[in-house]
């Protein structure tokens, strides 16, 4: 992402006790201001109220539904697929949502939703015995224009070619696969499977290949950033802190670890009740990142346990050491929490 295309806001999709998903937008300007981080009383983390929702994505009332989302390349359109085989497009600028073609197969157990170029890919995160004879993933056409992202008028989901046999099978007969991480680079989608290794799918040739028996060291989605030394950035699969990895090597080599990017205060403060396992890493352009977590804390105002979105802003700057070696230096900007509504469950930040 070029410096001129820096994003100025975050998009939050909130899972809710109510039937629908709610969409919020957060300006990130205050997170990158040069002044010292503001604090609430007692030196605690700054807490703000989450802005009112800008829209919602309806779900059917008759059946429980999970939708997995991703942000399209235009930076303003959410695309998602559900375990009920629905396809959802949501325009954050207009608040309009639409339903696309039905997937050929259900995606229980979660889905990696991956927009790449003019196509949308949906990879099933977990395969087991009930998935015998079902594809590992599907793809369909996206139409990208100045007006946003939408599904092509005549698009339909189609089955991806079958991956190598050991992607799907733990041994010669037991069907079991758990995907752990993915990223995109060029025309390839890279994905790791637990106890299996790493595979890539070439989206032009529509062909799989196994990259190695090693696994990517990331937790869920990682981001390949050509302008930052061609490194891939993601949250560590074990420590959940920010990693920078050289994926041009096989196996990939970890170049940087920033262990203080995990919000340890969330476990050390006396009023903390819990830290949700999922984190969201967003690349904003010009070396700027935001890491988001859903945390469960005692509210400092009324003492009730409540969900918050914890945001940490940071920037990576290219520097040179005394010896002239080029390196990336991390500059922390600000961190703050946004109070979720009492009926909010989990926030996904894009």
Residues 81, 122: Cα–Cα separation, whole Å: 8
As for how many domains the chain has, the answer is 1
What pLDDT does residue 293 have? 87
CA distances from 3 to 115, 288, 313 (A): 22, 10, 17
CATH number, domain of 272, equals 2.120.10
What pLDDT does residue 127 have? 73
Which residues face 89 on adjacent strands?
Answer: 79, 98
Long-range CB contacts (within 8 A, 24+) of 245-254: 245/216, 245/217, 245/218, 247/183, 247/185, 247/190, 247/216, 250/211, 250/212, 250/214, 251/212, 251/214, 252/214, 252/216, 252/217, 254/217
Domain span at residue 45 reads 3-349
List the chain pLDDT tens, one digit each, 350 residues.
544 467 889 999 988 777 788 999 999 888 888 654 544 434 567 888 899 999 988 877 667 788 899 998 888 889 889 888 888 889 888 888 888 888 888 777 788 999 888 888 998 888 776 666 667 778 777 665 555 566 665 678 888 898 887 877 655 555 677 889 999 999 999 999 888 899 999 999 999 999 999 999 999 899 999 999 999 999 998 888 899 999 999 999 999 999 988 877 665 654 454 556 667 899 999 999 999 988 887 766 666 778 889 999 999 998 877 776 788 998 888 888 898 888 877 888 99
């Amino acid at each position: 992402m070029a410096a001129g295309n820096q994003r100025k806001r975050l998009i939050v999709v909130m899972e809710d006790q109510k039937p629908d998903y709610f969409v919020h937008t957060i300006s990130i300007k205050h997170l990158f201001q040069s002044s010292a981080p503001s604090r609430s009383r007692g030196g605690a983390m700054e807490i703000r109220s989450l802005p009112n929702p800008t829209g919602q994505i309806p779900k059917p009332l008759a059946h429980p539904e999970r939708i997995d989302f991703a942000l399209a390349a235009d930076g303003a359109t959410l695309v998602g697929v559900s375990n009920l085989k629905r396809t959802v497009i949501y325009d954050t600028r207009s608040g309009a949502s639409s339903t696309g073609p039905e997937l050929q197969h259900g995606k229980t157990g979660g889905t990696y939703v991956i927009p790449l170029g003019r196509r949308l890919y949906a990879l099933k995160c977990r395969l087991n015995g009930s998935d015998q004879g079902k594809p590992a993933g599907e793809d369909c056409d996206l139409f990208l224009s100045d007006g946003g992202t939408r599904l092509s008028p005549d698009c339909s989901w189609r089955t991806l070619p079958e991956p190598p046999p050991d992607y799907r099978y733990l041994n010669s007969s037991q069907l079991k696969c758990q995907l752990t991480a993915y990223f995109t680079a060029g025309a390839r989608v890279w994905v790791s499977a637990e106890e299996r290794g790493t595979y890539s799918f070439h989206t032009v040739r529509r062909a799989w290949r196994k990259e190695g028996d090693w696994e990517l060291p990331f937790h869920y989605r990682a981001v390949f950033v050509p302008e930052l030394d061609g490194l891939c950035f993601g949250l560590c699969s074990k420590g959940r802190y920010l990693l920078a990895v050289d994926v041009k090597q096989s196996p990939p080599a970890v170049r940087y670890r920033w262990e203080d990017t995990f919000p340890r205060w969330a476990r050390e403060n006396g009023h903390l009740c819990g830290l949700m396992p999922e984190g969201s890493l967003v690349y904003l352009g010009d070396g700027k990142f935001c890491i988001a977590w859903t945390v469960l804390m005692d509210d400092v105002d009324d003492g009730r346990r409540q969900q918050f979105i914890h945001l940490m802003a940071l920037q990576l700057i290219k520097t040179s050491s005394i010896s002239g070696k080029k390196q990336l230096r991390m500059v922390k900007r600000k961190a703050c929490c946004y109070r979720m509504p009492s009926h909010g469950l989990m926030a996904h930040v894009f």
